[in-house]
Amino acid sequence: MTRSLNGGLLSTFDDNNTDTLSWVTHTARSTLSGVDYVSICVVHGCGEFSSVGATDPLAQRADALQQELGEGPSVDAALGVGVAHCDNVENDLRWRGYGTRSAEMGIRSQTAIELRYSGRTIGVLNLYSTQLGPLEDGVIDAAQVLAQDASTVLRMTQAVDDMAIGVTGWSQGPTGWSRVEREGAAPEAAVAS
């Protein structure tokens, strides 16, 4: 059902994976049998999502592909399905475009679990496998427990980001720093004061 953390959780990280959400994804990858890559997709109000905390660039590419095509287990979970699982993505009739292209990347099966907080969908925990077939008994149950924790961590991370924006007027996104609502000092000056 689950794997042990050989060498401890810290040994599963490289120097670039130290953010809070990476702890969740790396824990999932290290403990859930049959799971090779993990990511979290943050659902934005505009119906789009962004990939964070991915354990491998392949997971980020698979997330982006689902976003681009508007189909796949992650999209279904983001729309409120709860758990979207596929034993063979290449042959699944629900996601023909995604299935073919994800199989070309080496993904054979996938489970996407909706992340909910206060009654709304805030993200998706994606579990990717390079093997065909279902996950072992109990793995999805264990993943759902991790998903509950991921929901809390994601919401807390969003709350901290919201507070930082309120204090400094600056937000750091995937393309760098940007001024949000009010005029103010540069982020470096805000941190220094």
| CA distance linking residue 27 with residue 38, whole number of Å | 9
pLDDT at position 125: 93
The first and second tokens of residue 102, run together, are 């994800």
Residues spanned by the domain of 163: 9-192
> Does residue 13 register a pLDDT over 70?
no
Q: What is the mean pLDDT of residues 161-165?
A: 58
Please tell me the pTM assigned to this model.
Answer: 0.73
Q: Do the domain assignments include residue 18?
A: yes
pLDDT at position 98: 97
Q: Do the domain assignments include residue 67?
A: yes
DSSP for 9-23 reads GGGG--TT--SHHHH
Q: Residue 74 maps to which CATH number?
A: 3.30.450.40
Q: Do the domain assignments include residue 55?
A: yes
Flag the least confident range among 8-12, 76-80, 177-181: 8-12
Q: Do the domain assignments include residue 33?
A: yes
Q: Do the domain assignments include residue 1?
A: no
| Domain total in the chain | 1
